[in-house]
């Protein structure tokens, strides 16, 4: 696996890549969900590129950014085992030479749910994804459905800016208890992980939003929202100091 930290070096490499490229942008601390995206990219394209960049612009709380789990060496080993071709790991200085003075903003879809509770988050996310898509110039880019609102916004941005890349949505990967895999899960102990998995259970088994919210409160979650949009039931909750999001596909009859 080639590890590239310089964007100047990457641009030179990219000019000589004339095969089909699959791209997985990540913030590191990789898990089986990320690796499933790599496996799919390996099947469907000739060259697999993974980026690791903990994007300061999409954290609306400094403390959350500082606490975000990082382990670049462990990530490198996992990506080598997955036979990824390139790891792109730029610095914040290289990604934001303008000190984040130029931003991408969406004005409708980004104002609800995550956008309401994490002001500025989607501006940072869209800005860095646009930069990475421009740098990698992939044919296919892979994103998980756990961050469903994010996925919709990326699809909308790609269409709005006429980007020549296909966004591939991939099903959420879960642990044995049903907990959606997330890098933030590293901050949960074993007991908390089992409790956290009940978020998925509640979303699947409750008949309406009030029942879901009541059940989550009773379990001990602090609920930011549970709402139904885009043929999904989506939720964000806090378990102690860790924020969890999840969503399930609704039956068309329920929408």
Task: Return the active site residues.
Answer: 34
33 CB-near residues (< 8 Å, 6+ apart): 144, 146, 172, 173, 180, 181, 182
Contact 196, 188 (CB under 8 A): yes
Residue spans of beta strands (DSSP E) within the chain: 2-4, 21-26, 47-52, 86-88, 140-144, 166-170, 222-229, 232-239, 242-249
| Distances 210 to 65, 178, 214, 221 between C-alpha atoms, Å | 32, 22, 6, 14
């Amino acid at each position: 696996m080639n590890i590239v930290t310089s964007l100047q070096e990457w641009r030179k490499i990219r000019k000589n890549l004339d095969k089909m490229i699959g791209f997985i942008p990540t913030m590191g601390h990789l898990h089986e969900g990320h690796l499933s995206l790599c496996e799919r990219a390996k099947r469907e394209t000739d060259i697999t590129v993974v980026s690791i960049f903990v994007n300061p612009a999409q954290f609306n709380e400094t403390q959350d950014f500082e606490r975000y789990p990082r382990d670049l060496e462990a990530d490198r080993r996992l990506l080598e085992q997955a036979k990824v071709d390139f790891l792109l790991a730029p610095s914040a200085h290289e990604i934001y030479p303008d000190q984040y003075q130029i931003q991408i903003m969406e004005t409708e879809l980004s104002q609800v749910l995550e956008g309401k509770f994490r002001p500025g988050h989607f501006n940072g996310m869209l800005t860095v994804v646009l930069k990475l898509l421009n740098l990698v110039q992939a044919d296919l880019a892979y994103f998980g459905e756990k961050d469903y609102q994010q996925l919709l916004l990326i699809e909308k941005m790609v269409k709005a800016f006429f980007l020549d890349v296909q966004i591939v949505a991939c099903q959420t990967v879960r642990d044995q208890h049903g907990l959606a895999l997330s890098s933030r899960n590293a901050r949960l102990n074993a007991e908390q992980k089992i409790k956290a998995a009940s978020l998925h259970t509640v979303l699947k088994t409750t008949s309406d939003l009030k029942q879901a919210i009541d059940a989550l409160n009773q379990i001990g979650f602090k609920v930011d929202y549970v709402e139904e949009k885009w043929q999904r039931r989506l939720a964000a909750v806090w378990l102690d100091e860790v924020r969890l999001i999840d969503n399930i596909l609704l039956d068309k009859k329920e929408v």
